[in-house]
């Protein structure tokens, strides 16, 4: 059954001070807090991670490592030593780099970013030489072969991934989640929370619909409660 552990809140802010109200309010309702490049660059990774841990939250370190194996392995060891629950690498860094991350992940969960949710089929063809769905499946196979725990993909690829028996055990972490009452913004391949969970998502990454909900929804806590109700009842 779906629970708060399935929800990852994206802390898309530029200072530690701005994270505190969200962490204090949402820790009872979400399983993890995703910290990305803006916050990590502005404040420094150790400070950000330690702050979230002090307030009782778990961390998804969204650093998207994409480099040669030695560098990816070293960076993965550093972030694993911080005690984060999840971190990620880009599939485009190649199987050897993903293996280097897996070898150094310790107790953290390693995710592989497939194709960003902001990328359309046309752009995927231009960048990767193949349509989005084909590249997501290929990258998921690479993640599995390299020893990763899961992948990050758009919710629209979930059904396709679930049809491949050898990929069923992978965690499927999905950004691009937009409740019916929220705006799509810059995400191009989206589904609602209930749709994504029904199609096999294990974790939903949600930012703006919670941090800046429509006026009629209420506060961030009201928004996340509404999302929890939706996925629990789906």
- Closest alpha carbon to 115 in 97, 139, 99, 96: 139
pTM of the model: 0.93
- Closest alpha carbon to 185 in 118, 130, 122: 118
Rounded distance between C-alpha atoms, residue 71 and residue 147, angstroms: 18
- Decide if 4 is catalytic: no
With a cut of 70, say whether residue 70 has pLDDT above it. yes
- The domain limits of the chain are 4-232
Which positions ≥6 away from 149 have C-beta within 8 Å? 105, 109, 110, 111, 170, 171
Q: Which of 18, 64, 85, 226 is catalytic?
A: 64
Model confidence at 206, in pLDDT bands (50, 70, 90)? very high
- Least confident interval from 35-39, 120-124, 163-167, 184-188: 184-188
What CATH fold (topology level) applies to the domain 4-232?
TIM Barrel (3.20.20)
Q: Provide the mean pLDDT of the chain.
A: 93
With a cut of 90, say whether residue 89 has pLDDT above it. yes
């Amino acid at each position: 059954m779906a629970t708060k552990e399935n929800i990852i809140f994206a802390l898309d802010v530029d200072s530690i001070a701005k994270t505190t109200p969200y962490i204090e309010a949402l820790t009872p309702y979400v399983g993890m807090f995703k910290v990305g490049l803006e916050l990590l660059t502005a404040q420094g990774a150790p400070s950000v991670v330690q702050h979230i841990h002090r307030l009782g939250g778990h961390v998804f370190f969204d650093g998207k490592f994409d480099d040669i194996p030695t560098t990816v392995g070293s960076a993965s060891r550093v972030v694993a030593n911080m005690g984060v629950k999840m971190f990620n690498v880009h599939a485009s860094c190649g199987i050897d780099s993903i293996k280097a991350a897996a070898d150094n992940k310790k107790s953290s969960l390693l995710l592989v970013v497939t194709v960003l949710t902001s990328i359309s089929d046309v752009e995927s063809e231009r960048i990767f030489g193949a349509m989005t769905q084909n590249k997501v499946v290929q990258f998921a196979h690479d993640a599995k072969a390299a020893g990763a725990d899961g992948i990050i993909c758009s919710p629209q690829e979930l059904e396709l991934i679930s049809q491949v028996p050898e990929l069923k055990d992978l965690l499927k972490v999905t950004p691009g989640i937009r409740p019916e009452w929220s705006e799509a913004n810059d995400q191009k391949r989206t589904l609602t929370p209930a749709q994504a969970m029904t199609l096999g998502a294990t974790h939903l990454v949600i930012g703006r619909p919670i941090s800046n909900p429509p006026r009629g929804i209420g506060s961030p806590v009201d928004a996340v409660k509404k999302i929890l109700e939706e996925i629990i009842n789906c």
